[in-house]
A and B are shown apart, each in its own frame.
Chain A
Amino acid sequence: MIRTPLRPLARILSARARGENPEAIERENLRLRHEAMRDRARAMAEGRLVFLALAFFMVFGVIGARMGLMAATVPEEPKSAAPGAEILAQRADITDRNGRILATNMMTHALYAQTNDMVDPARVARELVKIFPEMNAEDLQRRFTDGRSFMWLRKVLSPEQMQKVHEIGDPGLLFGPREMRLYPNGTLAAHVLGGASFGAEGVSSAEVIGTAGIEKALDARLRDPAQAGQPLELSLDLTVQATVEEILDAGMKMMNAKGAAAILMEAHTGEIVALASLPNFDPNNRPSPLVQGDPSDSPLFNRAVQGVYELGSTFKIFAVSQALELGLVSPDTIIDAKTPLVSGRFRIKEFQNHNYGMIPVWDVIAKSSNVGTARIALQVGGLRQQAFLKSLGFFEPTHVELIEAPGAKPLVQKRWSDIVTITTSYGHGLSASPMHLAAAYGAIANDGVTVQPTLIHSDSHPVGTRVISDRVARQVLDMLRGVVTHGTASYAEVPGYDVAGKTGTADKARRDGKGYYKDKVVNTFASIFPADDPKYVLVVTMDEPVDTSGPIPRRTAGYTTVPIAAEIIRRTAPLLGLPPRAVPPGGEKIDTANLE
């Protein structure tokens, strides 16, 4: 660049000659130079701004165009990034603890009609009725021709039916792929599994949603695509469950009962190995619920979880446990069990008007004395009794993973007077489900620490709270063992397995609330085995059983549920891997002296 001098000699000299100040020339030149510099800087800055604006415009333009493109186009799965596992977005399987399938999915097809494409609606209607007898030809033809363009015909088809529909050969009949929930074991564990049905339906797919049981309770987990590959592993054991159901069914028929339920639970983890409720149903073809009458008449009713009954004498052990824990009595303390015990206007008597007199605490349990238990409960007091039963979970629904569980809230008296303390101590006036009872007996079997019944097989379980000391738990177990060796549950003696348990016979409350039925009972047997090292808790309940094998009909638990429970233990214990204790030849003698 050629630099213009600030003081050009020619101009200075001529200015001097004219007598002007040469400084003015210099200043003038300096001004011009500064102006030129300023113009250059401005042009450069403007250029930069324009460039920046252009760059921003291009970047935002690209982003905007991309957004517009994404918004305007149909979504499409990236072809290259689809790993094989997630191709079938299906509902997760349900298996038992050994991985045997309890619920899985099957591809099938739904049948729908597009009437616009239909060639001969009359013939199609006739042919369809031949394949599906439940359809009506006139009705179908009317619906094919009344102007609608689309209609569903069937939700699922078997392959044979699909082939036959193909053979009709009408272009208006179309198939949509469907994923169907299948329960290969039929009625087995029906009340646990519940059932599933279709939710929102489209032509190319339909969502499968759980309608009851664990299918509904854990619907979100089962539908989670991230966990679709991992089956939901239940704590049930298929073989044990089948055995329990078989024996319970035979027992229910033998004892002429209306219904029966059994819960077999691991004592230390709370995992439920078998949960049966009879009568049952086929979850593949779930019956519709009753709209009127007693819900417990429906096979859908889960007696083990929903059936809230007064559980009778099985409760006596809780009063005694608490008294032992509080140090009020020892197993050998003599209790006044003379009848009747009068409290206000109530007179408490024994079963069949027995009078046991002065008996030790262990015999109160073995003989199942109402009066003895009531006296112990009165020593404990209503407030403490309430708190203890609350800690065992008798005041709130169980947390087992079934949709029916939260609805089964125990029925508890609002005012806890002395008479409530007395009746609750022997299991009347407080209604709870067999699941509650299993959880409470689980606490005794688990050395006095509560357990949470669960249907999910897992390695870790929440640690419960201690309700009684392990010493008291041991004493209580010995007393429960006494009930079997020389008490009301002598039929529970299983050769090789020391069973401890307590019977309970409660009169059934009338549905209209006017007292109790004379000849309708709910029999319960809550047991723990093996008694010396408790591993399992078994609760068997029967609704309105009666043993008619003898000359007079017998309705006490000792004759109805106890033999059934004993048979369940005898058959399932080997399946559970419990080796029997060596039995002396000739077996053990059964004492039938005190069977009430």
Chain B
Amino acid sequence: MRPFLYVLSFLAVIASGFWAYRENYATQEALKQVSRLNRDIASLREGLTLQRAEWAYLNRPDRLRDLVVLNFDKLGLLPLEPEQMGNARQVAYPRPPAPPAIEGATDTSATPGKTRPAAAAKTDKDFP
């Protein structure tokens, strides 16, 4: 029994040594990859900063103003002015559609138009 335990523990030591060896190299590889990625991130960040700076440089108001003047024929851009802002109430809405025209001849003389002013006058008197 005892020799068997000795052999077993010896094997266990070898196995754990092998495992530690592999872990060590895996860790080192992971660390290298992290630093590689960090370098990549740094260079991408640097690129991003540069792109942002270039974007800001290309969009600087001086240049845009010059471009607007240069391309006025094509774009016709003008500075924003108060007249360009408005209120919804200032918008002229389309007229409501006219009622459908009455087809055919209409007998206007037969309509009881003459009674209308009298009726109106009566109403006015009732409600001064």
Scoring B30, B56, B81, B87 by chain A CB atoms within 10 A of each residue's CB, the highest score goes to: B56
In the complex, which residues of chain A have a beta carbon less than 8 angstroms from the beta carbon of B54?
184
Q: B42–A101 contact, CB under 8 A?
A: no
In the complex, which residues of chain A have a beta carbon less than 8 angstroms from the beta carbon of B87?
579, 582
A242 at the A/B interface (Cβ < 8 Å)?
yes
B1 at the A/B interface (Cβ < 8 Å)?
no
Contact of B60 among A188, A246, A580 (CB under 8 A): A188
Q: A82–B85 contact, CB under 8 A?
A: no
In the complex, which residues of chain A have a beta carbon less than 8 angstroms from the beta carbon of B38?
82, 84, 87
With CB as the reference atom, state the residue of chain A lying closest to B32: A79
B80 at the A/B interface (Cβ < 8 Å)?
yes
Residues facing B in A76-117 (CB within 8 A) are 79-80, 82, 84, 87-88, 90, 100-101, 104-107
In the complex, which residues of chain A have a beta carbon less than 8 angstroms from the beta carbon of B62?
185-186, 188, 242
With CB as the reference atom, state the residue of chain A lying closest to B89: A582
Q: B65–A246 contact, CB under 8 A?
A: yes
A422 at the A/B interface (Cβ < 8 Å)?
no
With CB as the reference atom, state the residue of chain B lying closest to A579: B85
B22 at the A/B interface (Cβ < 8 Å)?
no
In the complex, which residues of chain A have a beta carbon less than 8 angstroms from the beta carbon of B50?
106-107
Q: A79–B31 contact, CB under 8 A?
A: yes
Interface string of B57-90 (1 = CB under 8 A from A): 1011110010000000000000111111111001
Q: B53–A575 contact, CB under 8 A?
A: no
In the complex, which residues of chain A have a beta carbon less than 8 angstroms from the beta carbon of B30?
80
In the complex, which residues of chain B have a beta carbon less than 8 angstroms from the beta carbon of A340?
none
Q: A88-B45, A101-B53, A106-B50 are in contact. Are A239 and B79 (CB under 8 A)?
A: no
Stretch at the interface among A386-394, A432-440, A566-574: A566-574
Residues facing B in A223-259 (CB within 8 A) are 238-239, 242-243, 246
In the complex, which residues of chain A have a beta carbon less than 8 angstroms from the beta carbon of B45?
84, 87-88
A497 at the A/B interface (Cβ < 8 Å)?
yes
A496 at the A/B interface (Cβ < 8 Å)?
yes
Distance in angstroms between the alpha carbons of A579 and B87 in the assembled complex: 8
With CB as the reference atom, state the residue of chain A lying closest to B50: A106
Interface string of B84-113 (1 = CB under 8 A from A): 111100100000000000000000000000
Distance in angstroms between the alpha carbons of A123 and B30 in the assembled complex: 48
Q: A84-B41, A184-B60, A185-B61 are in contact. Are A580 and B53 (CB under 8 A)?
A: no
Q: A106–B49 contact, CB under 8 A?
A: yes
Distance in angstroms between the alpha carbons of A79 and B38 in the assembled complex: 10
In the complex, which residues of chain A have a beta carbon less than 8 angstroms from the beta carbon of B23?
none
With CB as the reference atom, state the residue of chain A lying closest to B45: A88
Distance in angstroms between the alpha carbons of A104 and B56 in the assembled complex: 10
Q: B57–A184 contact, CB under 8 A?
A: yes
Q: B53–A184 contact, CB under 8 A?
A: yes
* Chain A residue total in the interface (Cβ 8 A): 35
Least distance between A132 CB and chain B CB atoms (Å):
23
Distance in angstroms between the alpha carbons of A88 and B41 in the assembled complex: 10
Q: A87-B45, A185-B61, A574-B85 are in contact. Are A582 and B90 (CB under 8 A)?
A: yes
In the complex, which residues of chain A have a beta carbon less than 8 angstroms from the beta carbon of B85?
574, 579-580
Contact of B53 among A88, A106, A242, A496 (CB under 8 A): A106
B34 at the A/B interface (Cβ < 8 Å)?
yes
A124 at the A/B interface (Cβ < 8 Å)?
no
* Chain B residue total in the interface (Cβ 8 A): 33
Q: A105-B49, A571-B81, A579-B87 are in contact. Are A184 and B56 (CB under 8 A)?
A: yes
Q: A495–B42 contact, CB under 8 A?
A: no
Q: A186-B62, A188-B60, A579-B85 are in contact. Are A101 and B46 (CB under 8 A)?
A: no
With CB as the reference atom, state the residue of chain A lying closest to B54: A184
Least distance between B18 CB and chain A CB atoms (Å):
23
With CB as the reference atom, state the residue of chain A lying closest to B28: A79
B9 at the A/B interface (Cβ < 8 Å)?
no
Q: A104–B53 contact, CB under 8 A?
A: yes
Q: A496–B82 contact, CB under 8 A?
A: yes
B35 at the A/B interface (Cβ < 8 Å)?
yes
With CB as the reference atom, state the residue of chain A lying closest to B84: A574
Q: A87–B82 contact, CB under 8 A?
A: no
Distance in angstroms between the alpha carbons of A184 and B58 in the assembled complex: 8
Least distance between B54 CB and chain A CB atoms (Å):
8
In the complex, which residues of chain B have a beta carbon less than 8 angstroms from the beta carbon of A182?
53, 57
Q: B82–A497 contact, CB under 8 A?
A: yes
Q: A107–B46 contact, CB under 8 A?
A: yes
In the complex, which residues of chain A have a beta carbon less than 8 angstroms from the beta carbon of B31?
79-80
In the complex, which residues of chain B have a beta carbon less than 8 angstroms from the beta carbon of A497?
82
In the complex, which residues of chain A have a beta carbon less than 8 angstroms from the beta carbon of B65?
242, 246
Least distance between B115 CB and chain A CB atoms (Å):
44
Closest 9 pairs between A and B when the two form their complex, measured CB to CB: A242-B61, A184-B56, A184-B57, A101-B56, A580-B82, A84-B41, A87-B42, A496-B82, A185-B60
Instruction: Please give the residue numbers on chain A whose beta carbons come within 8 Å of chain B beta carbons, in ascending order.
Output: 79-80, 82, 84, 87-88, 90, 100-101, 104-107, 182, 184-186, 188, 238-239, 242-243, 246, 494-497, 570-571, 573-575, 579-580, 582
26 pairs, CB–CB < 8 Å, chain A vs chain B? A79-B34, A80-B30, A80-B31, A82-B34, A82-B38, A84-B37, A84-B45, A88-B45, A90-B49, A100-B56, A105-B49, A106-B53, A182-B53, A184-B53, A184-B60, A185-B60, A186-B62, A242-B61, A246-B61, A246-B65, A496-B83, A497-B82, A570-B82, A580-B82, A582-B87, A582-B90
Q: Known A-B contacts: A246-B65, A574-B85. Give 15 more (CB < 8 A).
A: A80-B30, A84-B37, A100-B56, A104-B49, A105-B53, A107-B50, A184-B53, A184-B54, A185-B56, A185-B61, A185-B62, A238-B61, A242-B62, A575-B80, A580-B83
